Structure 1
Amino acid sequence: MSDAAQPTAAEVRAAAEAVKAALDRHLAAVENRTGEDDPAVYEAFNTLAVAAEAYDERLYDRYDEVTPFEIPGADETLPAYAGPEEPNALSVLIRRDYAVVEPERLLAQARRVSDAEPEDVGRSGAQTAAASVHGALGVLFGEYEPDEISSRQKEFGLEEGDSTLWVSAAEDLPEPGEWLSAPFEQVDPQRVVCRFDVSSVFDEDELGEELDDLDEVGH
């Protein structure tokens, strides 16, 4: 890179100050988070990632040095946002994977629900559905909200796998019934405002890095 294209020392210093401010905002968001998927924490994380990347680039361009840390950015999983600046509607898409690890527990919980059904609303039908694993799943997901099933998964004989939540912006609310036949086929990644992923692979990556560090210390 030519000297003319290099950032000035003042620009590098300003980028460093932006990182400091982003760190303060991120810590404040974490300290005041309202839940596991608090959008304020996610936004502060992305702001910190952008600030850290900008500082790292300017530091390298000016002084040929790098920072000792790396923050994964949102652009690693989503393209740049190209949706409306002021969306009038939004869609929340959730996927949660489960393994059925204790079928008998699942069936027992479904039978408990079906036994509590009044006769005049179809107890016999619910009891029949609860006699098979796929029927029991229908009974439980018909009775409980997805968040409750997630929090009580072990009670239902389930084990949670990966999960993700996407918030997608739109100009207007779709017409009633417009997407019901194919609810997930028209998702535009460029309209996703934010997403929250939960996966054991993140823990495995961190564990692998820690083991690598231990190996280096041991040698």
Structure 2
Amino acid sequence: MSDAAQPTAAEVRAAAEAVKTALDRHLAAVERRSGEDDPAVYEAFNQLAAAAEVYDELLYDRYDEVTPFEIPGADDSLPPYAGPEEPNAISVLIRRDYAVAEPQRLLAQAQRVEAVEYDGGAGEEAAATVHGSLGVLFGEFEPDEIASRHKEFGLEEGDSTLWVTAADEPAEPGEWLEAPFEQADPQRVVCRFDVSAVFDEDVSDDIDEEDDLEFGRAEAEDGDEDLEPLDAER
């Protein structure tokens, strides 16, 4: 990068001040949180992540130096909320992924539904295939019920996400049905909730690591001079 394109010392200082301000706002939001998933805390986290990223980039460009910390998920976080302060309408966007773990169980459940629907008569052809059975089950049960009973239907849960987005006015009937997620604006997301096995694995790894370290300390207190140090994989 040429000297002309480098940020000034004043720009770096201003970015550092922005990080300090974002830290104060994040702490204040945490102190005032109204619940486990308070959107104000989520928004403050995103603002802190964005400010830290800007500071880190300017610091590197100006001084060839980096910060010693990283905010998890900063690269994947949503931009700051830019929607209406008092939304007149909202949209709830949900995606849930499943693996068809037991096709025969899926087929059997769909065939039971079809048998009841047609009282043992004709019309059970849809439940003869996996894709037809999926149509039968999702046509019969609400998505939340399938989520709670997925194992009964031979399904295995994958990742899921739920976005609540703000709107100025309710959409016209039939307006978005052909492309339900196409107009989702990340800057209008009021709150977002993600569920992933990746998070569970991280927590499990941390718990296992803590257990191993506690075990190592207990052994050391017993006076085992031959105890090898335990490596904490991170």
Please report the TM-score for the alignment, with normalisation by the length of structure 2: 0.63
Show structure 1 runs of 5+ residues with no match: 8-13, 31-39, 58-65
Q: Say which SS state the counterpart of residue 110 (structure 1) adopts.
A: helix
In structure 2, what is the equivalent of residue 87 of structure 1? Answer: 87
Shift of 1:48: 6.8
Shift of 1:216: 4.2
In structure 1, what is the equivalent of residue 188 of structure 2? Answer: 191
Aligned residue type for 1:170 = A
Does 1 or 2 have the higher relative contact order (CA < 8 Å, sep 6+)? Answer: 1
Shift of 1:71: 6.6
Percent of aligned pairs sharing the same letter: 56
Shift of 1:124: 2.9
2 CA distance for matches of 1:82 and 1:25?
Answer: 21
Shift of 1:18: 6.8
In structure 2, what is the equivalent of residue 170 of structure 1? Answer: 167
- Maintained 8 Å contact 2:46/2:80: no
2 CA distance for matches of 1:106 and 1:162?
Answer: 20
CA 1:85/1:46 → structure 2, altered by over 3 Å: closer, same or farther? closer
Shift of 1:15: 9.0
Shift of 1:41: 3.9
Aligned residue type for 1:104 = Q
1 CA distance for matches of 2:88 and 2:127?
Answer: 42
CA 1:94/1:215 → structure 2, altered by over 3 Å: closer, same or farther? farther
Aligned residue type for 2:87 = P
CA 1:147/1:115 → structure 2, altered by over 3 Å: closer, same or farther? same
Shift of 1:116: 1.2
- Maintained 8 Å contact 2:43/2:80: no
In structure 1, what is the equivalent of residue 157 of structure 2? Answer: 160
Aligned residue type for 1:149 = I
In structure 2, what is the equivalent of residue 36 of structure 1? Answer: none
In structure 1, what is the equivalent of residue 99 of structure 2? Answer: 99
CA 1:22/1:78 → structure 2, altered by over 3 Å: closer, same or farther? closer
Aligned residue type for 1:141 = F
- Which protein shows a greater Rg? 2
Instruction: Please point out which of 29, 40, 52 is paired with 2:35.
Output: 29
Q: How many residues align?
A: 195
CA 1:85/1:19 → structure 2, altered by over 3 Å: closer, same or farther? closer
CA 1:217/1:89 → structure 2, altered by over 3 Å: closer, same or farther? closer
In structure 2, what is the equivalent of residue 133 of structure 1? Answer: 130
Q: Say which SS state the counterpart of residue 116 (structure 1) adopts.
A: helix
Aligned residue type for 2:130 = V
CA 1:189/1:68 → structure 2, altered by over 3 Å: closer, same or farther? closer
